[in-house]
Chain A
Amino acid sequence: MANNRRNQSGAVRFVPALKAVLLCTLIGGSCVGYVLQKNKIYELGQQIGARQVKLDKIKKENQILADRYAAMQLPQRLAERVRDLKLGLVPPQRQQIVWISEPPPIAPATNALPAQFVQLNRKP
């Protein structure tokens, strides 16, 4: 009897202990998980911030380069380059321009198909 009681009482004590351990593990795990997730959120936030700064910097550099490119395309700047590099480029002189008379306007188009297509579209 005594042995049985001991065995029984031992079994009874093991289950609550297991439950307690599980509960503690669950609560502890949740807490650790919460902290880890919080840390992760913080880290990701910092990464987002760093990337935003980088993106902003790249955008501004892009803007600077676009402005530099636009400035290089200015007619006066191009004329200066032509002068500096002694390329001898000048606007075409009147004698170098040939004026070509345009042919008279074509008669307004009609819906009629050309003869060869008319033949093909005819129903048997």
Chain B
Amino acid sequence: MIRPGHLRRLFVFAILAGLALAGLGARLYVLQVVKHDHYREIVDDNTQRTFVKQPRRGDIVDADGHVLATSLPVKRVLADPSLIYPYQAEVARAVAPLLSMSEGELLHALRPLRTNDTGVVYTNRFVDLKRKLTYDQWSEVTQAIAQVSFDVDEEFLSRKERMFFRNLRRRGIYAEEDFQRIYPSGRLASHVLGYVQEVERILTNGSSRAASIEMTGIYGIEHWLDGKLKGTRGWRVTEMDRRAREIVVFREQDVEPRPGLNVTLTIDMFIQNVVEEQLAEAMKKFNPKSACAVVVRPSTGEILALANVPDFDPNFPSKSDDWSRKNRVIADMHEPGSTFKIVVVSGALNEQTVTPNDVFFCENGRWMFKGKPLHDHDNGYGNLTVEGIITHSSNIGSAKIAVYRLGEEKLYDYMTRFGFGQPTGITLDGEIRGWVKHWKKWDGLAVSRIPMGHAITTTPLQMAMAMSAIANEGKLMRPMLIDSLRGENGEVFVKFQPQTVRQVISPHAAKQMVAALKTVPAKDGTAPKAALEHYTVAGKTGTAQVPGGKAGYIPKKYVSSFIGFFPADNPEVCISVLIEEPDVKKGYYGGQTAAPYFKAIAEQVANYLKIKPDRNDSLGETLVGGTNSAPVNGVAARRP
């Protein structure tokens, strides 16, 4: 018989139980529904791991496929001090020499507790010990850790203790995959290649976070083509067991990285090496502030070599200063000096306001124009033909051509048509445009000063491309530094083609100009030291003063240059050599300082490229199966 009291108690109990169940249900609802995302995140964090797969940065190779920059797989050594404690001393003793660290330094890094910036003490679970360890070095480290003795007989340890030592050896010090950018040729073509810098990025994917170290191009081709070279990251989202081993069946996402494209340059390593050796010689002999050179193929605008001294080692860019890293060929401007006469004379020949045989009186070395004197070097000249003005590099003659036959507007027009005052379009950062004042803003004197390369500034590359335009029948080409972009297996993704900027002068005017320039490296010209034994050279010297000081120009400071091409009538190569502020006691004229290095470079380049000689007279003895007048087509056979 149930009493009313029992019923009441039962009823109360039922209500309480109901409330308790409702409370539990509500709590369950909060945990499972309301806070679902939060707890899901915690669960995922405990089991899921995201690994970022770094793509291999593409190689940079020369025109012949020689590697100029590559990425080498290396190891990044990390440590979890919480797994090493209390055996830091033993581990540090065994590993420190292999990581090029002192024992004390490593011991400090492996301390079990650390304090953060806000003063909070926390367990030290992650230390970045060493980067860029080679695979061989890493295998030495793992061997050393495996052999380290902890003064305990591990056979008689408990299961837990054995597990501790196993974790210490396996995960106490561990490594991650990494890449190191290597420039096997060191300083060679450093200003073209540039260098990279490592940037650490934190990547998030939902609840997962992963650190990734990326190489970013900072300078040169490395920077210009950074997006193509760096490739695309891959990743893997997976689950780990309690021993930190991957459970492959629970892999959720696995995307392979896409390696960066390989870049083939137009630079030829052999020619680059020749040029850099010669510039080093020039530095030794004339002790200049700097020197630079560029070798161009006039018909295509391909740059076969581009060199500067002082230079730097891209493997260790931080050890060099800004001055050494400056690519003077594109980022330095000077008054070009007499090399600029090619612009004035070419313009006048193109306009047909002069012919190569027209005669100008050169005032015997001193000409007053608008109340200011203009001088020729040495004792000056009397009558000179247009060709003679180029041969002897007469300032007065070229000024008279500009003043009386071309005029300010036309002169300015040819300056811009030859590409001065605007970037050449080379695929490198930091190119400057030089300085060209609009003709309407010229003072009255400029028209007489610009023809001899004053009152204008140009980059060495602009001058080389202008000379190449004359060599290329008047066609100005865009300088070409990149030949192609290729995939991992050599397949071509992008092939760059030569680009014509514009026809600056007619082929006929260019031919007349070449004939005049051929007289420069002759006995009577300003650069006999540039003449080659087996090739006809066309070129022009330049000796410019350095602006500054009270007098407008600094005494005894010059920029000497020589730009030439060969074989003159069928040019294969144009070479520009510029020496900044050579020791005046040893010489400062372009013909004295730069021309010999032009010759040294040209001889080796001609031999290397097997360029057909065009001066048969000097080959009389070595010709086989024909007379001296027979065409020589560059088929070389070496005597045993």
Report which A residues bind B (CB closer than 8 A).
41-42, 45-46, 48-49, 60-61, 63-64, 67, 70-71, 73-77, 91-92, 94-102
Contacts and interface: CB of A to CB of B under 8 A. Distances in A.
A97 B248 CA distance: 65
Contacts of B135: 60-61, 64
Given A70-B66, A70-B184, A98 B624 contact: yes
Contacts of B177: 60
B248 A45 contact: yes
Interface stretch (B67-75, B114-122, B519-527): B67-75
26 contacts: A48-B248, A49-B246, A60-B73, A61-B135, A63-B56, A63-B72, A63-B73, A64-B73, A67-B72, A70-B66, A70-B67, A70-B184, A71-B184, A74-B184, A74-B185, A75-B66, A76-B188, A77-B184, A91-B604, A95-B622, A98-B638, A99-B623, A99-B624, A100-B636, A101-B630, A101-B633
A43 to B, nearest CB: 10
B157 interface: no
Interface in B620-640: 622-626, 630-639
Interface of B: 56, 66-67, 70, 72-73, 134-135, 177, 182, 184-185, 188, 245-249, 251, 269-270, 273, 533-534, 604, 607, 613, 619, 622-626, 630-639
A76 B638 contact: no
B622 A97 contact: yes
A49 B607 contact: no
B72 A75 contact: no
Contacts of B273: 75-76
B533 A101 contact: no
A64 B70 CA distance: 10
Contacts of B623: 99, 101
Given A61-B135, A92-B638, A99-B613, A70 B70 contact: yes
A97 to B, nearest CB: 5
Given A49-B248, A60-B73, A67 B632 contact: no
Nearest to B633: A102
Q: Is the interface of A mostly helix, strand, loop or mixed?
A: helix
Nearest to A53: B246
B625 A94 contact: no
A63 B636 CA distance: 38
* A-B pairs, 4 with minimum CB distance: A45-B248, A101-B626, A60-B73, A45-B249
Contacts of A74: 66-67, 184-185, 269
Given A49-B246, A75-B270, 9 more contacts: A42-B247, A45-B248, A67-B72, A75-B269, A76-B188, A91-B607, A94-B533, A94-B622, A101-B632
Nearest to B53: A56
Nearest to A101: B626
A94 B73 contact: no
A48 B638 CA distance: 57
A96 B640 CA distance: 8
Contacts of B185: 74, 76
Contacts of B269: 74-75
Nearest to A59: B73
B247 A45 contact: yes
Contact of A99 (B246, B247, B622): B622
Contacts of B184: 67, 70-71, 74, 77
A48 B636 CA distance: 57
Contacts of B56: 63
Contact of A101 (B134, B625, B638): B625
Contacts of A61: 135
A101 B607 contact: no
A20 B147 CA distance: 60
A63 B619 CA distance: 48
A96 B619 contact: no
Given A63-B73, A67-B72, A100 B66 contact: no
Contacts of A46: 245, 248
Contact of B624 (A71, A92, A95, A100): A100
- Which of A45, A101, A102 counts the most chain B CB atoms within 10 A? A101
Contact of B625 (A91, A95, A100): A100
B433 to A, nearest CB: 35
A102 B631 contact: yes
B37 to A, nearest CB: 29
A64 B607 CA distance: 34
Contact of B637 (A41, A63, A95, A97): A97
A100 B246 CA distance: 69
Nearest to B72: A67
A86 to B, nearest CB: 20
Nearest to A38: B249
Contacts of A99: 613, 619, 622-624, 632, 634-636
Contacts of B625: 100-101
A98 B633 contact: no
Contacts of B67: 67, 70-71, 74
A121 B63 CA distance: 50
B176 to A, nearest CB: 13
A96 B607 contact: no
Contact of A97 (B247, B630, B633, B638): B638
A99 to B, nearest CB: 5
A45 to B, nearest CB: 3
A99 B613 CA distance: 9
A46 B238 CA distance: 13
Contacts of B635: 99-100, 102
B614 to A, nearest CB: 12
A61 to B, nearest CB: 7
B357 to A, nearest CB: 35
A98 B636 contact: yes
Nearest to A62: B73
B631 A101 contact: yes
Contacts of B134: 64
Nearest to A69: B67
Nearest to A63: B73
A94 B534 CA distance: 10
